[in-house]
Amino acid sequence: MALLQIAEPGQSPLPHQVKRAVGIDLGTTNSLVATVRGGRAVVLPDAQGAVMLPSVIHYGAADAPIVGASALALAALHPADTLMSVKRFMGRGRNDAEEDARRSHYSLAEGEEGMVSFLTSGGKISPVEASAEILRVLSQRAVDTIGGEIDGAVITVPAYFDEAQRQATKDAATLAGLPVLRLMNEPTAAAVAYGLDADGQGVIAVYDLGGGTFDISILRLHKGVFEVLATGGDTALGGDDLDAVLADWLLQESGFETLEAGEYRQLQASARLAKEKLSEAVTVDVDLSEVLPGGAVISVSREKLEQMIQPLVKRTLLACRRCLRDAQLEEGVDNIVMVGGSTRVPLVRAAVADFFGRTPLLGIDPDQVVAVGAAVQADILVGNRPEGDLLLLDVIPLSLGIETMGELVEKIVPRNTTIPVSRAQEFTTYKDGQTALAVHIVQGEREMVSDCRSLAHFELRGIPPMVAGAARIQVTFQVDADGLLGVSAREEITGAEASVMVKPSFGLNDEEITGMLQASFSHAEDDKRVRQLAEQRLSAWQLLDGLKSALEKDGDALLVAHEREALAGQMTELQSLIDGEDTHAIRQKTEQLGRESETFASRRMDKSIREALAGVSLDSLDDEVMQ
C-alpha cells in the first residue's frame, strides 16, 4: 500500500524543492527586487549590473512603454509622456492630485471609479497601469536571474497608505501577473532586514525618508516577534521635496522666472545630483548651462542646503514625536534604522541621532534595506524556511468604525491594533418597527462623522419589526494582513446578513492624511464636548419620540388635561434646548422630563398588565405556575 505524502500548508511536499520568492520595493523614485540565496537576501541586478530601476515610464504614440533609465533619459524631451513619482498618485482622485501634477507637468483626466489618470501620447494611463509596467520589468529581471517563474512575492508600501492606495498596489501586481503573498509596510521590512542580525530583543525606530513619502514606525522585537507599536509619517514629504527646494533656489539664483516642463525636469535632476554630492563634499558647483540657455555656474554649499531643507527635516521629527507618544514607551528606543536615499544627507542623520539620543544603524544600504527585508519575509511565507520562527505583527494606522445616531463615530477597531484582526460589536435599532439598517463605515480619530473619512455604505434588510432597542445586530470588522477591510452585519434573530469589501474609489489627499492625527490631538477637548452634546441631544430626542408616541396612544385615556398640558410644556422646553449648545441644560431638562413622565409611564404599564390579564382567572394562573 502506497503512503500519502503530507506537507504543511505553504510548504513543498518535497524537502529538496525550494520555491522562488522575491521581495519588491516599489519605490517613488527607484524600485528594486531581491531574493534569498544560500540563506542570505540579495538585491538582483539587471543585465548591465544596475540594481536600482528608476520608477519612470515613458509612453510614446505607438511604441510599447519604456521603463527605467531609458525612460528617465526621455523625461526632459517628453515630460507629459514620461511619468515619474507615479506612486504619489496611487489610489487618489483628480482633485487630490492636481498640485503634484502641476509640479510634474502632467495632464490629468478622470479615470475609473474616480481615480486619476494621465493623458499621454500612448493614451489615458492610470497609476495602476504605470506601476504594473515597473513590476513587470522587476518580475522579468527576477525570472531571468533565478531561472524560473516566481512562486510568491511580497511588495512593500508606505505604512501610511490607506485602503485605496493598498488596493491600487495590489491591482498593479495582479495586472503584472505577480502572485502576491502579502503587502508589507516599508519600515517594517527594513526592521526585518536588520532584526536578523540583532540580539533578539529591543525597541526599534525605523526612519524612512524615501523619494516621495516619509514614514516612521516604532517596533518591538522580542524572541523573533516583530510587533509594530505605532506608525506615523507624511505622505506629502520625501526626497523629491528636498530636491524641489534646491531646484527652486537654483531657479531663483539663475534669474529665470519660469521654465518649460522639460527644462524643469533637467533642473530637478541637477538639484538631485548636487544634493547627493553635498553628502560628501562641502561645496559643489551646478552648471546650469547644461539645463538653461545662457545659464551660469552656481555654487551651493552644504550649509546653504541644510538651511533650505531644515523646515522639512523638522516636519519629519514632529511626526517622530507623535509616533513615540502613540507607542507609549516608558524608555527610549534601542536602535534606529535609516531607510531611503535621502537619509544619507548629513543633516538628516545628525537630526535623527540628536532627536532619539542614539547613533542610527547604517550597516545595510538604505536604498536596498526595504527590498532585503521583503525578500526575507517572502522566503518565509512561501514555505522555504519552515524552521524560521520570525513572526510579523503589523498595525492599522487609523481607527475604523461606523456612524451611529447623532452622527457620532463608534470606533470598532482602534488605531495601532495589530493585524490581521477581527472585531465585532452589537448594535440595535433606533425606531419602533425598523426593518433595515444603513451601515456607514468611517476612518479617523475624531468623534463626529463629519470630521472623519467616509469609506463605504451598505444596508442590512430583513430585520423583523420590533420595538426600538429589541433587535440584536452584530457588526464585524475584519482587516487582513494587507490592511484591507471587510465589514459584515448580521441580525441575530432571522440570520439576515449583508457585507461589503471596502475598496474606496480614491484615497485621502496629502493634507488630510498628514493632518488627521494632528487634528485628533489638537481638537481632543473640543471633540469631547461635541460628543457629549451629541449624546445628550440623542437622549433627549429618544425621550421626546417615546413620549410623543405614548401620548398619541394613551394620553387622553390616562392623563387629565392639566397633566397632559404640563408634559407638553416640558417637552416644548426640551425641544427648544436641543437646538442650543448647552449640554448641561439639555441634560437637566431631559432628567426633569424623565422624572415628571414616570407617573404616566407607570399608568401605561398598569394598563398593559390589565390588558394582558383580561379574561384570565387566578385559578388558571395558579395552574400554570404549578406546571
Read off the amino acid at residue 470: A
- Catalytic residue flag (residue 623): no
Q: Pick the catalytic residue: 46, 81, 87, 503? A: 87
Give the number of other CB atoms < 10 A from CB of residue 597: 21
Q: Pick the catalytic residue: 129, 133, 162, 186? A: 186
What is the Cα–Cα distance from 247 to 271, expressed in whole angstroms? Answer: 5
What is the Cα–Cα distance from 47 to 57, expressed in whole angstroms? Answer: 19
Three-class DSSP category at 13: coil
What is the Cα–Cα distance from 33 to 375, expressed in whole angstroms? Answer: 8
- Catalytic residue flag (residue 87): yes
Cα 595–chain centre separation: 47
Give the number of other CB atoms < 10 A from CB of residue 9: 5
- 269-292 burial: b if 16+ Cβ within 10 Å, else e: bbbbebbbebbeeeebebebeebb
- Catalytic residue flag (residue 277): no
Read off the amino acid at residue 158: P
Give the number of other CB atoms < 10 A from CB of residue 487: 22
Please answer whether residues 182 and 311 qualify as being in contact, where contact means their C-beta atoms are separated by less than 8 angstroms: no
- Catalytic residue flag (residue 25): yes
**409 strand-pairing partners:** 403
Give the number of other CB atoms < 10 A from CB of residue 2: 4
Q: Pick the catalytic residue: 25, 81, 447, 535? A: 25
Using the structure block, give the residue that is written with the C-alpha cell 497601469. Answer: 129
Q: Pick the catalytic residue: 96, 208, 447, 535? A: 208
Give the number of other CB atoms < 10 A from CB of residue 241: 19
> Helix H segments across 196-344?
239-254, 261-277, 302-327
Q: Which of 496, 512, 515 is nearest to 504 (CA)?
A: 512
Q: Which of 102, 137, 108 is nearest to 32 (CA)?
A: 137
The residues annotated as belonging to the active site are 25, 87, 186, 208
